[in-house]
Structure 1
Amino acid sequence: MGIRQLTMFLGPLLAGLLIALFGDGNRTDGAGTGAMANATGIGIAFGLDALSFGVSAWTLSKVRLLAAAQAPSGRTDGPTASTPPATPGTASPAVLASVAQGLAHFWRDRELRTCFLYWSAVAILIMGPLHIAMPVLASSLPHLGAAAFGTLVGAHGAGTLAGMVASGMLPRLRWGSLGMTLLAFDATIGLLFMPMGVIGALWQGVALMLAIGVLGGFMQVRIFTWIQQRVPPALIGRAMALFMFIFMGLAPISAAATGWVMKGITLAQLFAACGGALVAVAALAFLLTPLRQVNDAPGTVPR
């Protein structure tokens, strides 16, 4: 998780550096529209990005299953040898059954179910503006464009990384229970999100994104720790997969909704509405759900 946030911080900085070194910002097309500005630097940045996917695919191809790696070669007795190899026809039902078992367990746990539903609402409200509205906002800042977007994303990544470090250094820092701290931080993020659409200078956006990243990174560590304490060891992988699906799988839906909404409202209205909605969701969760009672004390028994 920390490595991912570090790459989110370094990636935009590297892209900005490539655009600055190889960009042709003073060059324009024949019509003088500036359509070719920084095209070389942007192309190199995309090329490096594509290369990174190739490296990732190569490393994944080297991954071997643990059971296969531990099986002694040529052995004909013992549990490993007597277990028939899994085939696609038998593996698929087993995987689906495991997923269904995990979902059923999470749904029976009232606090865990509430948290996952709450995080789904947060993801829908925040992920779309971050992926769709933020590039539009950066391009609206005069004489900055792609560089401004990279700086904003880098500020968010740096803040998230700093928040994760702070969470490890200040394990007792909280406001009441873990749930109360989560709701307070999310409400604060909503308030910080609201003025993003009216910033007039890059440093204002950097300050807001840095603060949002710090709060989000701080809570990520606490939430991951709580989930791992809450669920049985056999279900930890499925719980973390569901958590990651909420913030990554719902991102395209949120992005599509954001793009559709932006046809009828301004950036300032979009950020204000999403931030205000996040504050409202946190307030409703405090008043109507057991989320405020969630505690990260070890040994908490699911209800």
Structure 2
Amino acid sequence: MSRHPLATNTNFRLLFGGSTVSMFGDQFTLVALPWLVLKLTGDPGALGLVLATMAVPRAVFMLIGGAVVDRFSARAVLLLARTANAVMVAALAAMVLTGAISMPWVYVLALGIGLATAFAYPASSALLPAVIEPQQLAQANGAMMGMRQLSMFIGPALAGVVIGTGAHAPTAGSALADARGLGWAFAIDAASFGASLLSLALIRVPAAAKRAPSQHGVFGQVLGGLRGIAADPPLRAFMLYAAVVSLFVGGPTQVGLPVLADMRLDHGATSLGIVMAASGGGMLLGGLFSGAVAKLVRGHLGAMILSFDACIGLALVGLAGVHSTVLAAVLLGLTGLLGGIVQITLVSWIQRRVPREMLGRTMSVLMFTFLGLGPLSAAGVGALLKVISLPALFVAAGLTLTAIALGCLTSPALRGIRAQDAVPQVA
């Protein structure tokens, strides 16, 4: 029996293996960092500021990172960015375990992690098409996204357990109750970066996939990427929609979920890990069902995204009355399921639609909307929680998302986006 073409591609196996280890490691920091801030300060406002401290350099340099990837080697950029991340997460682990951690250091390291991530995300997205054939993109994205969703299902739960083992057991020289578990969580993530770096060092990008040097500077390339998106009406409309959703919903959920686990759920950090795992599990199932659902809706990706986002908003409203970890997990699992259904077809659609020489910049804009703008609103949300209740925050965020999605259903540019439209339309 012949092996699957992707399984015979050494570069893809290395990229997939290293990325898998790194994805699982990332989940430990995603749970541990907000928990660390809440344990150090007890202040949702401080959590919002830390998330914003990561988001500002990520947002500012995300577009530049995409241009750098298009100008140089995606593999080299990814190696440098992940090396920087490994060093900073390892430093975080050491400071927590030795009791040297303090909020100024958290801000400094969060700033550095955000800056490195701004280059890592577009580099990772651009490297995949460089090591496989174009007709294998959908399958490769399915494998990568499926593993990411699996990591989001298993990783947070494991992180919650690891952090929980150190609960109320301060390390020597530290008054932080969960220091031991938090330190272990950061150390696991640092080790995962090491495995990823080893796999990247072994990857060899085919000569045909290397880009010719550009005659324009980095900022000129950034502007060129933005002009390319602006000239593609469906792509432009989706980017604007994603930006609005991230601003008004991303911040409230990123701050609200850790605060919910700390103040209202019954198992602290373990509850946070469980609800994040439920979201990841829902995304995993959504990814598995995405092909069948796309056929069911006959490829009407735009209408599907907007309809599902409207339902996700109502699920967020439901979080306002939650006091049970199980019920919170059910609601987050639902939001993950609906969100996961659209992701594989959406990213593959963009990767097929955009010319290879523009892909790094285009993916950096997409990641800017998802990963840069949302946390920027987190600082404001943290301050807002000092004057409004947590339930009011979830109600406002959920109803805003539902209203935006339903309103955008009236836009032909968004509603008419189809999953199979791989050829750019003329503006």
The alignment's TM-score, normalised by the length of structure 2, stands at 0.58
- In the alignment, the residues of structure 2 paired with residue 157 and residue 239 of structure 1 have an alpha-carbon distance, to the nearest angstrom, of 25
- In the alignment, the residues of structure 1 paired with residue 316 and residue 200 of structure 2 have an alpha-carbon distance, to the nearest angstrom, of 37
The answer for the alignment partner of 1:125 in structure 2 is 248
The answer for the alignment partner of 2:325 in structure 1 is 202
Alpha-carbon deviation of 1:58? 5.3
Tell which structure's C-alpha radius of gyration is larger: 1
The answer for the alignment partner of 2:156 in structure 1 is 12
Alpha-carbon deviation of 1:11? 1.7
Superposition pairs for residues 1-303 of structure 1, below 5 Å?
1-20=145-164, 22-23=165-166, 25=168, 37-57=177-197, 59-60=199-200, 66-67=206-207, 93-174=216-297, 177-288=300-411, 290-298=413-421, 300-302=423-425, 303=427
Give yes or no for contact 1:195–1:268 (8 Å, CA) kept in 2.
no
Bigger fraction of residues in helix:
2
1:45 corresponds to which letter in structure 2? A
Alpha-carbon deviation of 1:61? 5.6
- In the alignment, the residues of structure 2 paired with residue 175 and residue 150 of structure 1 have an alpha-carbon distance, to the nearest angstrom, of 36
Alpha-carbon deviation of 1:18? 2.0
Give yes or no for contact 2:152–2:277 (8 Å, CA) kept in 1.
yes
- In the alignment, the residues of structure 2 paired with residue 195 and residue 153 of structure 1 have an alpha-carbon distance, to the nearest angstrom, of 16
- In the alignment, the residues of structure 2 paired with residue 13 and residue 121 of structure 1 have an alpha-carbon distance, to the nearest angstrom, of 30
- In the alignment, the residues of structure 2 paired with residue 296 and residue 28 of structure 1 have an alpha-carbon distance, to the nearest angstrom, of 52
Cα distance change on mapping 1:46 and 1:298 into 2, 3 Å:
closer
- In the alignment, the residues of structure 1 paired with residue 351 and residue 208 of structure 2 have an alpha-carbon distance, to the nearest angstrom, of 27
Cα distance change on mapping 1:24 and 1:149 into 2, 3 Å:
closer
Alpha-carbon deviation of 1:39? 3.9
Alpha-carbon deviation of 1:213? 0.2
> Structure 1 unaligned runs (5+)?
30-34, 71-82
The answer for the alignment partner of 1:77 in structure 2 is none
> In structure 2, the residue corresponding to 1:287 is in which secondary structure?
coil
- In the alignment, the residues of structure 1 paired with residue 413 and residue 420 of structure 2 have an alpha-carbon distance, to the nearest angstrom, of 16
Alpha-carbon deviation of 1:170? 4.1
Cα distance change on mapping 1:142 and 1:301 into 2, 3 Å:
closer
- In the alignment, the residues of structure 2 paired with residue 181 and residue 65 of structure 1 have an alpha-carbon distance, to the nearest angstrom, of 36
- In the alignment, the residues of structure 1 paired with residue 262 and residue 379 of structure 2 have an alpha-carbon distance, to the nearest angstrom, of 19
Cα distance change on mapping 1:44 and 1:171 into 2, 3 Å:
same
Alpha-carbon deviation of 1:137? 0.2
Alignment: residue pair count: 279
Deviations 1:214-258 (A, max 9, x none): 100101122113223433343333322221221112233022222
What's the RMSD between the two structures over aligned residues? 3.0
Alpha-carbon deviation of 1:210? 0.3
Consecutive aligned runs of 4 or more in structure 1 exceeding 6 Å deviation: none
- In the alignment, the residues of structure 1 paired with residue 167 and residue 296 of structure 2 have an alpha-carbon distance, to the nearest angstrom, of 48
> In structure 2, the residue corresponding to 1:296 is in which secondary structure?
coil
> In structure 2, the residue corresponding to 1:259 is in which secondary structure?
helix
> In structure 1, the residue corresponding to 2:386 is in which secondary structure?
coil
- In the alignment, the residues of structure 1 paired with residue 409 and residue 418 of structure 2 have an alpha-carbon distance, to the nearest angstrom, of 14
1:282 corresponds to which letter in structure 2? A
2:186 corresponds to which letter in structure 1? F
- In the alignment, the residues of structure 2 paired with residue 171 and residue 286 of structure 1 have an alpha-carbon distance, to the nearest angstrom, of 18
> In structure 1, the residue corresponding to 2:409 is in which secondary structure?
helix
Give yes or no for contact 2:257–2:272 (8 Å, CA) kept in 1.
yes
- In the alignment, the residues of structure 1 paired with residue 202 and residue 379 of structure 2 have an alpha-carbon distance, to the nearest angstrom, of 35
> Structure 2 unaligned runs (5+)?
1-144
- In the alignment, the residues of structure 1 paired with residue 189 and residue 280 of structure 2 have an alpha-carbon distance, to the nearest angstrom, of 18
